């Protein structure tokens, strides 16, 4: 069923810099994410992509404007059950193996019984099975990002927000990995929003949102 997962109205986000100047990051953003959407979020560094993803995922709050999650339920239930997040910066728990990191959302959601098997299966499906017993410190940046994507996928969320998930991969590896991610999501009706500087990845999505100085230009189909 095609339903609205998130609706954003008149969203603004500003911060106070170290010298007490007001820095506006997002300006009058209106957007909507529907189930099964495939959205590329593009724009130069500093245009507000990461901040927008964090607000969509309930990790940050707007300075003004509103964010609604009509298709995802109560705010307290957004993560990890409804929304999976892949951060641009390293986000794996250093004391846990790759497999344990992937299993963690399932454990937090009360599904510990099948967490280990599900994590192993997903890592294998994504071509990461040989990393299962590795600690984050033993992984390259690109490997860690791929494991982080596996963790976001593990619980089968309604929405995945991914911030430069292939940013540390060469173009061939990025395309092959993204192929697999889309295969895993096929038929799940899970929405995917990817912030990326990779035009090849952006062109794989159905819709492109272009960010410029905090504005989201009118979303348009590819």
Residue 72's domain comprises 4-221
Cα distances (angstroms) measured from residue 131 to each of 15, 92, 98: 39, 13, 6
Domain count for the chain? 1
Nearest CA-CA partner of 12 in 23, 28, 1: 28
The average pLDDT across 110-117 equals: 92
The average pLDDT across 155-183 equals: 94
Q: In which band, very low, low, confident or very high, does the pLDDT at 184 lie, cut at 50, 70 and 90?
A: very high
- What is the value of pTM for the model shown? 0.93
Q: Which two tokens stand for residue 132?
A: 């299962």
Which pLDDT tens digit goes with each residue over 124-153?
999 999 999 999 999 999 999 999 999 999
Written in H, E and C, the secondary structure of 156-191 is CCCEEEEECCCCCCCHHHHHHHHHHHHHHHCCCCCE
Q: Which two tokens stand for residue 11?
A: 């969203």
Which pLDDT tens digit goes with each residue over 18-54?
788 889 999 999 999 999 999 999 999 999 999 999 9
Q: What's the CATH code of the domain at 70?
A: 3.40.50.300
Instruction: Return the H-helix or E-strand segment holding 53.
Output: helix 49-56
Q: In which band, very low, low, confident or very high, does the pLDDT at 222 lie, cut at 50, 70 and 90?
A: very low
Q: In which band, very low, low, confident or very high, does the pLDDT at 188 lie, cut at 50, 70 and 90?
A: confident
């Amino acid at each position: 069923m095609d339903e609205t997962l998130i609706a954003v109205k008149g969203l603004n986000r500003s911060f106070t810099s170290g010298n007490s100047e007001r820095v506006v990051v997002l300006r009058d953003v209106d957007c909507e994410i529907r189930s099964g959407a495939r959205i590329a979020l593009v724009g130069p560094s500093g245009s507000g992509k990461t901040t927008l993803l964090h607000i969509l995922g309930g990790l940050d709050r707007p300075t003004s404007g509103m964010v609604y999650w009509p298709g995802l339920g109560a705010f307290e239930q957004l993560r990890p059950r409804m929304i999976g997040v892949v951060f641009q910066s390293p986000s794996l728990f250093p004391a846990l193996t790759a497999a344990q990191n992937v299993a963690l959302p399932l454990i937090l959601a009360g599904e510990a019984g099948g967490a280990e098997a599900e994590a192993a299966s997903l890592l294998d499906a994504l071509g990461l099975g040989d990393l299962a017993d590795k600690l984050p410190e033993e992984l390259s940046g690109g490997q860690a990002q791929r494991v982080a994507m596996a963790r976001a996928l593990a619980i089968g969320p309604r929405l995945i927000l991914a911030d430069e998930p292939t940013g540390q991969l060469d173009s061939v590896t990025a395309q092959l990995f993204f192929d697999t991610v889309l295969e895993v999501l096929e038929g799940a009706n899970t929405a995917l929003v990817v912030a990326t500087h990779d035009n090849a990845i952006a062109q794989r999505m159905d819709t492109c949102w272009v960010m410029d100085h905090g504005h989201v230009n009118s979303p348009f189909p590819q």
